[in-house]
């Protein structure tokens, strides 16, 4: 009797702990993220912010702060969402907000939503942090502004001259090559006949239009932080599956022991 009671309590405790672990794992993997996680310096980049709804309430608004050194350019419109931005005294966009519009109920529990926008990356190598604020229908706000490892970390993009992706940085290379080439041509032109400067300006404008077109057509540099193929996420999913199976077995064992105890 005592042995059975001890086993029953141990089984119950293990099942409870497992359930808590599964709940924590689910919440820990459902962060607000901005992709890609690696991007080319100076590139006109298409970014995507992914917002999961973690509560049993709909997400009705999300505000994203534009990091210093990143130049916001354009956003992709989305039906059911009103998009606004804030600017500083220099007319630079400092934040962008997506808010439900019309009959849209927002991002419901168990769902996620992605919003796309184009921005130009800094010229120098750096890391930019994307602070985001998630608003729920009850007025509560989750601030995704913490450091990596915190409960609510902000997403980070590493800006590099040589992103470790193996892909050609279409937008960034066009812009960089155009700038360097035009500077050299302008210097040579000034030394000869002084007419190359106008041509340089026109060519630079054409290159800027090309880089924007490349960004909008998704020929961008960097490696998207795809949560479906990220090695860390896959390991977490596998571990979660194994623990789930163990929890199920322990639950059946606990029920069997409890039933046996009642018969006695």
CA distance 111 to 124: 37
The tens digit of pLDDT for each residue in 18-60 reads 444 444 434 445 799 999 999 999 999 999 999 999 899 999 9
With beta carbons less than 8 A apart as the criterion, state whether 113 and 107 touch.
Answer: yes
With beta carbons less than 8 A apart as the criterion, state whether 115 and 48 touch.
Answer: yes
CA distance 161 to 179: 15
Structure tokens at 90: 């220099």
Distance of CA 168 to the CA centre of its chain: 22
pTM, 2 dp? 0.58
Contacts of residues 24-32 at CB distance under 8 Å and 24 or more positions apart, as own/partner, are 25/236, 25/239, 25/240, 26/240, 27/54, 29/227, 29/233, 29/236, 30/54, 31/144, 31/152, 31/153, 31/155, 32/62, 32/132, 32/134, 32/144, 32/155
Q: Flag the least confident range among 40-54, 72-86, 154-168.
A: 154-168
End-to-end CA, the chain: 9
- Quote the CATH superfamily of domain 30-166+213-226: Uncharacterised protein YcnI-like PF07987, DUF1775 (2.60.40.2230)
- Checking DSSP bridges between strand 81-87 and strand 141-144, what pairing results, if any? unpaired
The tens digit of pLDDT for each residue in 227-253 reads 343 444 445 556 656 766 777 777 777
Segments making up each domain of the chain, as ranges: 2-26+239-263, 30-166+213-226
């Amino acid at each position: 009797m005592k042995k059975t009671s001890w086993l029953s309590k141990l089984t119950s405790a293990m099942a409870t702990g497992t359930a808590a672990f599964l709940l924590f794992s689910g919440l820990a993997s459902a962060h607000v993220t901005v992709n890609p996680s690696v991007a080319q310096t100076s590139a006109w980049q298409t970014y995507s912010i992914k917002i999961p709804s973690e509560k049993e309430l709909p997400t009705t608004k999300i505000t994203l702060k534009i990091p210093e050194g990143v130049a916001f350019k354009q956003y992709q419109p989305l039906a059911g969402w009103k998009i606004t931005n804030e600017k500083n005294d220099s007319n630079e966009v400092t934040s962008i907000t997506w808010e439900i519009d019309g009959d849209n109920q927002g991002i419901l529990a168990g769902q996620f939503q992605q919003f796309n926008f184009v921005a130009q990356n800094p010229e120098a190598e750096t890391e930019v942090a994307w602070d985001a604020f998630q608003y729920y229908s009850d007025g509560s706000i989750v601030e995704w502004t913490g450091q990596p490892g915190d409960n609510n970390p902000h997403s980070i993009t590493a800006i590099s001259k040589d992103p470790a992706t193996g892909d050609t940085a279409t937008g960034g290379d066009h812009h960089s090559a155009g700038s360097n080439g035009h500077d050299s041509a302008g210097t040579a032109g000034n030394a000869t006949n002084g007419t190359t400067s106008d041509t340089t300006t026109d060519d630079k404008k054409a290159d800027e239009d090309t880089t924007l077109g490349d960004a909008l057509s998704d020929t961008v540099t960097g490696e998207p932080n795809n949560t479906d193929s990220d090695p860390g996420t896959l390991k977490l999913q596998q571990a979660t599956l194994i623990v789930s199976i163990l929890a199920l077995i322990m639950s059946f064992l606990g029920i069997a022991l409890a039933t046996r105890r009642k018969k006695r």
